Structure 1
Amino acid sequence: MDINFITLIIIGANVVLSLKGFNDFSFFEKNKFNIGGIQRGEQSRMVSSGFLHVDMQHLLFNMITLFFFAGVVIDYLGQTNFAIIYFGSLIVGNLLSYYFHKHEYHYSAVGASGAVTGILYSAILLNPEMSLYMFFVPIPIPAYLFGIGYLLYSIYGMKNKVGNIGHDAHFGGAIGGYVITLLMATWLFEKNLAMVALLAVPIVLLFVMRKTGHI
């Protein structure tokens, strides 16, 4: 499988900065997503945190996922638009985290998961007929079912605080990937309106639950 230049650059940046963060506590603390730091005016954390990871497993999982789905987005929209979706999803993911945790001064998070989820959701929008294989499921899963199921699980994780995982950043990244992709590829509304609407269901559900106080 070929790897595009922009994908290589982003993976390389994640690897270099994450490795530095593993070995430099001060660097990690200065650049992680932290509510208190952002409220002090350190908005750069909204981006820098997306290039740090808690450990090698976290880094590898995100980069492998990015590697497999980046090509789909680039093939449809080009490298520049791919980069816009990547960084846009990263920022939207952290904005949603900020929205949900703005009163938790010490809340912190790191990882490219929001950006990677945005790329994944963009790829599903662009090619919903592709199938995904999961390590624990021996049969292919339709991409759109995986996307919807993943966001529904993220809602469950946000509501029940499942694991030490930034479910809100994942969800926000998916919203970023969804919205930015539709702005770039308006032809999706004509070609596959039903799928566009179906993939919006968990996004609408999240905000309804938030509005009604259920999350």
Structure 2
Amino acid sequence: MPIFTIILIATISGLTIYGFNNSDFYEKYSFNVGAIKNEKEYYRIITSAFIHVDYTHLVFNMVSLYTFAEFVEIEYTSKVIFLSFLLSVIGGGVYSLINNWKNDNYSAVGASGGVCGIIYSSIFLMETGSVYIMFIPIPIPDYVYAALFIWGSYYLMKKGTDNIGHDAHIGGAITGIIYAISVIPWVFLQEFRIILIMFLPFAVLYIHERYFM
């Protein structure tokens, strides 16, 4: 049984629900560029992962977390899930901070960076498999799901109509891949084609931003 995954989900859910009814708690621990940059409140990079905007945001992240973390924890122990989540949260937060450095008012919450890191790392730590998405009756290759996850994050990040840290997905995903390779170094060569496919969205996003915006 994936004990740590269940505890992590329960902790995130509990703190998120508490934040729904406590605006001071929500504001103190959410990701905020100005507070991190000017007040040196670096803890926000991690604590913001334990708060969500609403139940839809929370449920989506927790379902994704459990779907991918369950078998990784059973196969590789709780330590791997802990480090994958924590490092990806930090990686996503750092990317988000750099990406929004000039906007002191930028604020976001969500475990998406850590979840995305686990999604991506699990693809390399486990044998390539498939996942089922609600309302789609056929299995989807896990790396396709991961790519679609990033594309959706990019679209919502650019749309900028909510308080969700969509840009943290990218930093979290990259961190997750790097961590997976550190756990099983030979996976880089064995799964090189999949790594190329996984990085294709990042290359397209970079070219789009660099030359067409």
Give the TM-score normalised by structure 2.
0.89
Question: Following the alignment from structure 2 to structure 1, what is the Cα–Cα distance between the partners of residues 154 and 159?
Answer: 10
Q: Which runs of 5+ in 2 are unaligned?
A: none
> CA 1:141/1:84 → structure 2, altered by over 3 Å: closer, same or farther?
same
Match of 1:201 in 2: 200
Match of 1:31 in 2: 29
Match of 2:5 in 1: 7
1:3-152 → structure 2 map (5 Å cutoff): 4-39=2-37, 40-127=39-126, 129-152=128-151
Structure 1 residue 213, shift from structure 2 partner:
5.7
Match of 2:154 in 1: 155
Q: Aligned to 2:137, what secondary structure does the other structure show? A: strand
State the one-letter code of the partner of 1:113: S
Question: Following the alignment from structure 1 to structure 2, what is the Cα–Cα distance between the partners of residues 118 and 146?
Answer: 13
Q: Which runs of 5+ in 1 are unaligned?
A: none
Structure 1 residue 95, shift from structure 2 partner:
1.1
Structure 1 residue 106, shift from structure 2 partner:
1.0
Give the TM-score normalised by structure 1.
0.88
> CA 1:105/1:214 → structure 2, altered by over 3 Å: closer, same or farther?
farther
Question: Following the alignment from structure 1 to structure 2, what is the Cα–Cα distance between the partners of residues 125 and 202?
Answer: 17
Question: Following the alignment from structure 2 to structure 1, what is the Cα–Cα distance between the partners of residues 118 and 199?
Answer: 16
Structure 1 residue 94, shift from structure 2 partner:
1.1
Equivalences, count: 211
Q: Deviations over 1:143-172 (max 9, x none)?
A: 1122223223433444x4254243211122
State the one-letter code of the partner of 1:23: N
